[in-house]
Structure 1
Amino acid sequence: MHMDRREFLASLTAGGLAGMCVDLILFPLDTVKTRLQSPQGFKKAGGFRGIYAGVPSTAVGSFPNAAAFFVTYEYMKATLRTDASPYLTPVTHMLAASFGEVVACLIRVPSEVVKQRAQVSPSSSTLRIFSSTVREEGVLGLYRGYKSTVLREIPFSLVQFPLWESLKVSLSYLQIIRVDCWQSTSCAGGFAAAVTTPLDVAKTRIMLAKTGSRNATGNVLPALCGVWRTQGIPGLFAGVVPRMSAISLGGFIFLGTYDKMRYLLL
């Protein structure tokens, strides 16, 4: 079974719009989180000043990133679908979400690298940061942190998407208001966010590392060990509160908007 053109366009549009809504609404929380995780510390990274620094990068990357995720997700879900056993359904959703993340990160990572660097140096413009990154590190510099981003996103999707899908099914049987499904998913998202915070810290350190430094190689384990040695457990969970808040609220807005938009378009 494959996706038809209408489904493809609906997933593309609904996914892109949902992604933009979330990223732009919750941007200040994301900036606070990045600054808490940055090596120079919250105050030196800008504190609460210039809270929208880096927003152009998000505005450009957000729609194609979310659209790429949902198109891949729905396509893989349709391709892998088996009617053999209902127990295999969550596995299908897990695999589809993982594929979705790998593809979406091709767009997300460059946008995230530029955004995070802008967030910790609010005096520089997004364009200047983009051009200096390409000048100093080449196009590959924009993909620094790709591994750590995928590593962070996959466990997250493994929790969130099968849960979202199964709640949609079970709640539609019970004729409960659909919002409940998004609420439950955002709780799951909040839990997954807390658990994956150390990976998020590692990703931030890798993306912000000076060219030529150890973290700039993009290896997750040394980055985690470095944080652990210098700051211990609090360092590994830096920014956990804004991250959990952003992801719980984000899951609620994101999946809710996606479902509603897709429903309207189809």
Structure 2
Amino acid sequence: MVDSERIQNPWMASDQTSLQMNPNATQRFSPPPPQLTSNNDKLGIAERATSAAGAAFLSAVIVNPLDVAKTRLQAQAAGVAYSHPLSNMISRMSCFGPNMMFADLRCSPSCTRAGFHGTVSLCPPDCFRYKGTLDVISKIIQQEGFTRLWRGTNAGLALAVPTVGIYLPCYDIFRNWFEEFTAKSAPTATPYVPLVAGSLARSLACATCYPIELARTRMQAFKETQIDKKPPGVFKTLLGVVSNGKGTNSPPNSLQGYRVLWTGMGAQLVRDVPFSAICWSTLEPTRRKLISLVGGNDASLLSVLGANFSAGFVAGTLAAGATCPLDVAKTRRQIEMDPIRALKMTTRQTLMEIWRDGGFKGLFTGFGPRVGRAGPSVGIVVSFYEVVKFALNHRYTTS
């Protein structure tokens, strides 16, 4: 019995020896708290990646409407004009006279603000201008349909599954490596391990899957200009980016054309690395504290779920709020339609442009939906991932 307890709690061996040497020390002895780490070494990289991919799939579907709202608000602040899909065609036909055409340019069939220009039923520009998160969601439902709130979900899934499948397992591996290293050589650096591990893991995941992120932002930012036509998917969106980039090369350079697929990756890294650093350095101590309150290593499945979701929600909210200006810069660089300008722009120049155009308010455009998206998203991803790991470890332990 004692031997089995020593195997599960290695700290018991030295303490039992000290108790035998000094029996009077029993009153002063208080065993150190058990380590909150589970037997993660039993899980392979494939199992970690699978559980992380499942978490990413669930999160991407649930929070996508807030992601669309955030991107639309930021794109509008960058100068993207939202209007009825037929408005450009009607303006080109207006030279034939207002009575030569008949069209309905109301923002929705139920809109009562539309007036008539000749035979054209026309809504005022305010009907197509977004004023906030709820206004974006409401107008997308009225003008484009409920399913458009999930525009870019296929790109989000194509992005989230490999990204998180790389991100979380690599974070686990880097954290374990650095904790072992700092425990032996630099114990004072241990609190900074989550910050470094999260930054490295996020950089690796971002560089690997960035073109899909570019496609998702463009799919969410722009309306489809042709009615009753299926909007382009990830592949067609990326083809359009490449063809636009190649068309501006003189002489043509195929490598330059494909380089545009990584337009704005610097801004993405500048946003994601601080986000991960803030997120993990907040999440780790928070969830360890919560798990210790609900039983430590003896915590139940529901306790693990609740502790990880709560810690992830708090960490994601703080990180998203702090990095919102960098997210605005990232969106602006990704929706830039001039590939030459996009390749020459830097994140610093973009932030200065945002400050010049909108000041402090401009730097925090889309703050509400970004924070509202990131908190639940991080909570869902981390809690799902940890629960799957908990279940797999429990299965290995019992078998």
Output the TM-score relative to the length of structure 2: 0.61
- Structure number with greater Rg is 2
The change in CA–CA distance for 1:140 and 1:130 in structure 2 (over 3 A counts) is: same
Instruction: Please state if 1:128 is matched with 2:265.
Output: no
Structure 1 gap ranges (5+): none
Deviations 1:66-106 (A, max 9, x none): 01111221121122223246543331111111110111102
Equivalence for 2:211 = 110
> Partners of 1:214 and 1:146 in 2: how far apart?
15
Equivalence for 1:7 = 44
Instruction: Please state if 1:61 is matched with 2:150.
Output: no
Instruction: Please state if 1:100 is matched with 2:139.
Output: no
Deviations 1:173-200 (A, max 9, x none): 3226331343133123212211211100
Q: Secondary structure at the match of 1:114?
A: helix
| Stretch deviating more after TM superposition (90-99 or 158-167) | 158-167
Cα deviation for residue 162 of structure 1 reads 2.5
Residues 193 and 244, structure 1, Cα contact 8 Å, conserved in 2: yes
Instruction: Please state if 1:210 is matched with 2:341.
Output: no
> Partners of 2:48 and 2:261 in 1: how far apart?
27
Equivalence for 1:79 = 177
Equivalence for 2:290 = 171
Instruction: Please state if 1:26 is matched with 2:63.
Output: yes
| Stretch deviating more after TM superposition (45-54 or 125-134) | 45-54
Equivalence for 1:219 = 346
Structure 2 gap ranges (5+): 1-39, 85-127, 129-135, 225-230, 246-256, 296-302, 394-399
Equivalence for 1:52 = 150
Residues 183 and 252, structure 1, Cα contact 8 Å, conserved in 2: yes
Q: Read off the aligned partner of 1:190 and give its amino acid letter.
A: T
Equivalence for 2:251 = none
The change in CA–CA distance for 1:122 and 1:163 in structure 2 (over 3 A counts) is: same
Identity of matched residues, %: 25
Instruction: Please state if 1:157 is matched with 2:264.
Output: no
Instruction: Please state if 1:141 is matched with 2:248.
Output: no
Q: How many residues align structurally?
A: 264
Residues 35 and 42, structure 1, Cα contact 8 Å, conserved in 2: no
Q: Read off the aligned partner of 2:159 and give its amino acid letter.
A: G
Equivalence for 1:17 = 54
Deviations 1:199-221 (A, max 9, x none): 00000000000224544434101
Cα deviation for residue 35 of structure 1 reads 0.5
The change in CA–CA distance for 1:122 and 1:262 in structure 2 (over 3 A counts) is: farther
Output the TM-score relative to the length of structure 1: 0.90
